[in-house]
Amino acid sequence: MTIQWFPGHMAKARREVQEKLKLVDFVIELVDARAPSASQNPMLQEILQQKPKMQVLMKKDLADPNMTTKWIEKLREAAVEVIAVDVQNRQDIQKVIETAKKMTSEKMARLKSRGVRPRAGRAMIIGIPNVGKSTLINRLASKKMAKTGDRPGVTTQQQWIKVKKDFELLDTPGILWPKFEDKRVGYQLAAIGTIKDQLLSIEDITRFTLNYIQQSYPHLLMERYQLEDVEADFEQILEQIGQQRGALAPGGSVDLSKTAELIIRDFRNGKVGRITLEQPND
């Protein structure tokens, strides 16, 4: 399976990122803590080149905490600043601000030594759609500066946002790359809600997600749905959950599509448990 696209606004956003990169001191790249590698845009890595980078693992409250620790260790091997964030946690938000100040402190000191009046540090914030970029910006700015939503593609243009007196953020739209050669990456991104659900069958997305949870977190599946057999095949599990949750079609049979939607919604909301869909050694 190759999922292929390249909407015009994403092509435009890529060009604008490239053009505006020279205006900023560093880049804040957001990835999803449930899929830190899959949610890292390889196209943007080519554009960023040697620009200093802070990598923020968003939605850590939905991810497996042990796996998040392993991912942080792995990502720090690339000599970038890495922080895992729950946007509702004030300490996490402050950690982002302190790290941003640290990343610009040397440059500001050099400006001051040359008699240049120090300015606020400037950062570009980037990431794939629906990674939580607008929510993080609003928390950093302590007010609603950016539109938020639980669907991809809410931010459609760039804008500058001031974070107190500490630094300025250049917000950018979420950017995906032209196609996913690896079907696993496509399904991981679909599972966390980065790809619009219309592009892939909801049953296929749920099948992939359920299979992974069966292998890696069977106890969470059992706890959430009280299954008779956690190792049953996909259709059997859908039957069990559909009957239990009343996801029925006219006539009393289980509505498999409705049940699949219910399961993937539970996963995205963290109701199944804290789950990470990939491991650093994969």
Q: Is 265 within 8 Å of 241 (Cβ atoms)?
A: no
Both 243 and 120 in one domain: the answer is no
What pLDDT is recorded for position 147? Answer: 46
Q: Which two tokens stand for residue 5?
A: 């696209």
The Cα 232–Cα 124 span in angstroms is 47
- 25-37 residue pLDDT tens: 999 999 999 999 9
Both 122 and 210 in one domain: the answer is no
Both 82 and 155 in one domain: the answer is yes
Q: Is 129 within 8 Å of 152 (Cβ atoms)?
A: yes
Both 41 and 173 in one domain: the answer is yes
Taking all residues of the chain, what is their mean pLDDT, rounded to a whole number? 85
Burial of 241 (0-12, 13-18, 19+ CB in 10 A): buried
Binning pLDDT at 50, 70 and 90, where does residue 191 land? very high
The verdict on residue 209 lying in a domain is yes
Rounded average pLDDT over 35-49? 84
Both 154 and 259 in one domain: the answer is no
Q: What is the domain-level CATH number for residue 74?
A: 3.40.50.300
pLDDT surpasses 90 at 213? yes
Domain boundary, last residue among 179, 212, 243: 179
Give the SS3 label for residue 114: coil
- 58-116 residue pLDDT tens: 999 999 999 999 999 999 988 789 999 999 999 999 999 999 988 888 777 787 788 77
| Residue position matching structure tokens 């106890």 | 219
What pLDDT is recorded for position 144? Answer: 60
Backbone angles phi, psi at 142, to 5 degrees: 60, 25
The verdict on residue 196 lying in a domain is no
Kind of pairing between the strands at 26-32 and 53-58: parallel
The Cα 68–Cα 200 span in angstroms is 27
Going by the DSSP 8-state scheme, the letter that residue 117 receives in this structure is: P
The verdict on residue 282 lying in a domain is no
The verdict on residue 192 lying in a domain is no
The Cα 208–Cα 262 span in angstroms is 15
Kind of pairing between the strands at 121-127 and 167-171: parallel
The Cα 54–Cα 38 span in angstroms is 17
The verdict on residue 188 lying in a domain is no
Q: What is the domain-level CATH number for residue 215?
A: 1.10.1580.10
What pLDDT is recorded for position 10? Answer: 61
Both 175 and 206 in one domain: the answer is no
Of 176 and 128, the one with more pLDDT: 128
Going by the DSSP 8-state scheme, the letter that residue 280 receives in this structure is: T
Both 174 and 264 in one domain: the answer is no
What pLDDT is recorded for position 145? Answer: 58
Both 137 and 9 in one domain: the answer is yes
What pLDDT is recorded for position 148? Answer: 42
The Cα 220–Cα 115 span in angstroms is 59
- 135-174 residue pLDDT tens: 999 999 886 654 444 444 444 456 788 887 778 898 877 7
Name 134's Cβ contacts closer than 8 Å, sequence gap at least 6: 146, 147, 148, 149, 154, 155, 171
Domain that holds residue 58: 3-179
Both 21 and 100 in one domain: the answer is yes
Domain boundary, last residue among 145, 179, 213: 179
Both 66 and 206 in one domain: the answer is no
What pLDDT is recorded for position 199? Answer: 73
